Chains A and B, each alone.
Chain A
Amino acid sequence: MSLMRMSSPHARSGDRTAGVMLQVAAATIPGVLALVLYFGIGVLINIALCTVTALACEAAIMKLRNRPVAFYLKDYTAFVTALLLGIALPPYCAWWLPVVGSAVAIVLSKQLYGGMGYNPFNPAMVGYVVLLISFPLAMTRWVAPGELIQGTPGLGEAFSLVFGNYNVDGFTRATPLEIVRLNDSILLEQLYQMEPMLNLGTVAGLGWETVNLGFLLGGLFLLYRGVITWHAPVAMLATLTLLSLLFYDSGSSLSEGSPALHLFSGATMLGAFFIITDPVSGATSNKGRLVFGAGVGLITFIIRAWGSYPDAVAFAVLLMNFAAPTIDNYTLPRTYGHKAPRKATEGEEEQ
C-alpha cells in the first residue's frame, strides 16, 4: 500500500470556464424557446450566424497571436458572447448584421483588449451598440408575434428575408415599449385596450412577457447553480421598479409605463441575469455589484423614458462598464485580518 502525501490546498473546484459558460448557455434555453414560439425561427438564424462568425474570428485572432486555437475555442466564451448577441438582434435581420456585430464583439471589444478576462466592456453589448448606431433603421425593426401578422415567416421565407431581399416591413410592428413611449394622447388604460400587441398579453405585451419570463427562469437556474450572485440583478430590477413606479403617473397619457411593463418587456430580464452578471466587465465585490446593477437600472429607465432609442439595456451596461473600476475602488471589501478596507488610490503615506 502506498501512502501518497499531498500538500495543501486539498479543496478542488469543478468549475472551469467551459463548465460555467455551458451552464449560462443552457440557461438561455427557456428564453430562446419563447422567442422561437412567438417570433419564429429568426432568432435561431441569428444565433447560428453569430456563432459561426464569432468562432471564426476568435480562431483567426488566436492564430495571429500565436496562442493555442482549440484551447481558447473550447472555453465557450466566444460562443456565449455570440449567443447573447444573436438573442439581442432583431429576428430576420439581414445576414451581415450578425456577422459584423459578432466580428466587432470578438475582434474589437474582446481580443484587442487582450482576450478573455481582459475586456473592459461586455463584448456582446459592444457589438450590439455598434450595430445600433451604425444601422439604426434595420436594428429597430422588430418582427411582431405571429398572432398579429398571420404567422411568422416560415423557413424558406426566413432565409429569403435574411439572405435576399431584407424587406421585413410586412412582419414588423412597434414593440410594447415603443407603443407606450410614443403615446402622449390617451390614457394608458385606453392604449392597452386599443393596441392588440398590449391587450393580447397580460401586462407587458404579447410574446415579450413570455420571453422575459423565460430569461427570468434561466436566471433563477443560474442563481441556484451558484454561477451568478443575486446582487446585480436584484439591484437592477429594484431600481427599475422603483423608478417606473415613481413615473407611472397613475396611467395618464404621459405615463412612462407600469413597473410590470418595464420588468417584463424589452431586454430587462436578459440584461439583468445574463448581461450585467458578466464577471469580467462588471463590478467585482458584492457591494460593488449592487451599485453596478442599480446604475444599470437607473440609466436603462432614463433612456427608455426620455431617450429616442427603443430599448436601453445595452447603453446602460456599457456606461456602467466605464464606471466599474471606480465602483470597485470604492467598494473594496475588508481584507481578513485588517480593519478597514484600503482604497486602491490611497498613497503609502496615508496608511
Chain B
Amino acid sequence: MATPGYSEISRNGLWNNNPALVQLLGLCPLLAVTGTVVNAIGLGLATIGVLTCSNLAVSIVRRQMPETVRLPVSVMIIATFVTCAELLMKAFTYELYLVLGIFIPLIVTNCAILGRADAFASKNPVLPSVVDGFMMGLGFMAVLIAIGAIREILGQGTLFADMDLLLGPVARDWAIPVLGSDYPGFLVAVLPPGAFLVAGLLIAAKNAIDAGIERRRSQQVRIVPGAKRVRVTGKIS
C-alpha cells in the first residue's frame, strides 16, 4: 500500500473518513461526555494526544512487531500514553479530570485509536503516521465539540460554561447565556438519548452535504456536441 499524501491524510481524518461520523468508532466517549463544550474539548485534547503519540510509537516499532502479537503490542503502547494523559490531566486540570472520570482511562478501549494504529501506523512511515493520528484526532475532537455545543445550548441554554475547569481562572466568565438566563433547560439533550439524537443528526447533515457536493459535481459535466454514443451501459462522463 502506497503511503497517501499529507493532504489526503488530512482530508480523510477531518472529513471523508472521520472517525466519529463515518467510521462510527469511539462512540462510547463521544456520547457519554459531550454534555458540555468543556468536557468535549478536554476529552478531545486527550484523544488527540494519545492518538498522535501511539501512532508515532507503533510506526517506529512496526518492523520489529511480529504479526501475531501486533494487537497486544498496540494496546500496551496505547495504554502507556493513556496513563500519561490521565496523570497529566490529574496534575493540571484536576476538576475536569474528576468530571470526565472513568472516560479518561477508557480512552484505551477507544477503537478509533487501535483502529488507526493497526490500519495505518503499522504499515506506514513515521511522519505520515503522526500526521494521520493528529488529523484523525482533530476530526474526532471537532465532532465532540459540535455535539457538546449543541447539547449544551439545548440542554442548559449556555455555551462555554465552566471553561475554567480546563483553562484556569481566566475563563471563569466565558459562559454565554445563548438562550437567555431564564431558559428552562431541555433536559433530554443532556441525557444519553440527546447524545444519540444529535450524533445521528450530525451524520445525516454530513451525508446531505456530501450528496449536495456530488450532485453539483455531476451537473458540471459538459456534454460535447456531436459525440453521441448510440448505446451506453453506464453514465457518460
Q: Does B191 contact A (CB under 8 A)?
A: yes
| Chain B: minimal CB distance from A148 (Å) | 27
Q: Does A29 contact B (CB under 8 A)?
A: no
Report Cα–Cα, A66/B185, bound state, in Å.
Answer: 34
| Chain A: minimal CB distance from B56 (Å) | 42
Q: Does A11 contact B (CB under 8 A)?
A: no
User: How many residue pairs at the A-B interface have CB separations less than 8 Å?
Assistant: 16
Are A133's CB and B197's CB within 8 A? no
Contact of B184 among A108, A133, A135 (CB under 8 A): A135
Report Cα–Cα, A138/B187, bound state, in Å.
Answer: 12
| Chain A: minimal CB distance from B193 (Å) | 8
Chain B residues with Cβ below 8 Å from A100 are: 186
Chain A residues with Cβ below 8 Å from B189 are: 134
Q: Does A223 contact B (CB under 8 A)?
A: no
Q: Does A130 contact B (CB under 8 A)?
A: yes
Contact of A108 among B186, B187, B197 (CB under 8 A): B197
Q: How many residues of B contact A (CB 8 A)?
A: 8
Residue interface mask A16-59, B partner, CB < 8 A = 1: 00000000000000000000000000000000000000000000
| Chain A: minimal CB distance from B80 (Å) | 41
Are B187's CB and A135's CB within 8 A? yes
Chain B residues with Cβ below 8 Å from A136 are: 187
Are B197's CB and A134's CB within 8 A? no
Chain B residues with Cβ below 8 Å from A108 are: 197
Q: Does B175 contact A (CB under 8 A)?
A: no
| Chain B: minimal CB distance from A221 (Å) | 35
Q: Does B188 contact A (CB under 8 A)?
A: yes
Majority SS of interface residues in chain A? helix
Interface centre among A133, A134, A136, A138 (most CB of B within 10 A): A134
Report Cα–Cα, A100/B184, bound state, in Å.
Answer: 13
Chain A residue nearest to B190 (CB atoms) is: A134
Chain A residue nearest to B189 (CB atoms) is: A134
Chain B residue nearest to A96 (CB atoms) is: B184
Report Cα–Cα, A108/B189, bound state, in Å.
Answer: 13
Chain B residue nearest to A129 (CB atoms) is: B188
Residues in B174-230 with C-beta less than 8 Å from chain A = 184-189, 191, 197
Chain A residues with Cβ below 8 Å from B185 are: 134
Chain A residues with Cβ below 8 Å from B186 are: 100, 134-135
Report Cα–Cα, A98/B22, bound state, in Å.
Answer: 35
| Chain B: minimal CB distance from A40 (Å) | 24
Chain A residues with Cβ below 8 Å from B188 are: 130, 133-134
| Chain A: minimal CB distance from B125 (Å) | 44
Report Cα–Cα, A313/B236, bound state, in Å.
Answer: 58
Chain A residue nearest to B154 (CB atoms) is: A134
| Chain B: minimal CB distance from A162 (Å) | 15
Chain A residue nearest to B200 (CB atoms) is: A112
Report Cα–Cα, A130/B155, bound state, in Å.
Answer: 13
Report Cα–Cα, A135/B155, bound state, in Å.
Answer: 11
Chain A residues with Cβ below 8 Å from B187 are: 133-136
Residues in A69-128 with C-beta less than 8 Å from chain B = 100, 108
| Chain A: minimal CB distance from B88 (Å) | 36
| Chain B: minimal CB distance from A71 (Å) | 25
| Chain B: minimal CB distance from A107 (Å) | 11
Report Cα–Cα, A136/B187, bound state, in Å.
Answer: 9
Report Cα–Cα, A135/B189, bound state, in Å.
Answer: 11
Chain B residue nearest to A135 (CB atoms) is: B184
| Chain B: minimal CB distance from A167 (Å) | 13
| Chain B: minimal CB distance from A119 (Å) | 15
Chain B residues with Cβ below 8 Å from A134 are: 185-189
Chain B residues with Cβ below 8 Å from A130 are: 188
Report Cα–Cα, A135/B187, bound state, in Å.
Answer: 7
Report Cα–Cα, A130/B186, bound state, in Å.
Answer: 9
Chain B residues with Cβ below 8 Å from A133 are: 187-188, 191
| Chain B: minimal CB distance from A74 (Å) | 28
Interface centre among B185, B186, B188, B197 (most CB of A within 10 A): B188
Report Cα–Cα, A133/B194, bound state, in Å.
Answer: 11
| Chain A: minimal CB distance from B157 (Å) | 13
Report Cα–Cα, A135/B191, bound state, in Å.
Answer: 12
Chain B residue nearest to A97 (CB atoms) is: B184
Report Cα–Cα, A133/B186, bound state, in Å.
Answer: 9
Chain A residue nearest to B191 (CB atoms) is: A133
| Chain A: minimal CB distance from B199 (Å) | 14
| Chain A: minimal CB distance from B191 (Å) | 7
Report Cα–Cα, A138/B184, bound state, in Å.
Answer: 10
Report Cα–Cα, A108/B185, bound state, in Å.
Answer: 19
Report Cα–Cα, A134/B185, bound state, in Å.
Answer: 8
| Chain B: minimal CB distance from A100 (Å) | 8
Residues in A122-156 with C-beta less than 8 Å from chain B = 130, 133-136, 138
Report Cα–Cα, A133/B185, bound state, in Å.
Answer: 11
Report Cα–Cα, A136/B197, bound state, in Å.
Answer: 20
Chain A residue nearest to B188 (CB atoms) is: A134
Report Cα–Cα, A345/B197, bound state, in Å.
Answer: 30
Residue interface mask B38-58, A partner, CB < 8 A = 1: 000000000000000000000
What are the 6 A-B residue pairs with the smallest beta carbon separation, nearest first? A134-B187, A134-B188, A130-B188, A134-B186, A133-B188, A133-B187
Pull 8 A–B residue pairs with CB atoms less than 8 Å apart, ordered by A. Answer: A133-B191, A134-B185, A134-B186, A134-B187, A134-B189, A135-B184, A135-B187, A136-B187
Given contacts A108-B197, A133-B187, A133-B188, 10 further A-B contacts (CB under 8 A): A100-B186, A133-B191, A134-B186, A134-B187, A134-B188, A135-B184, A135-B186, A135-B187, A136-B187, A138-B184
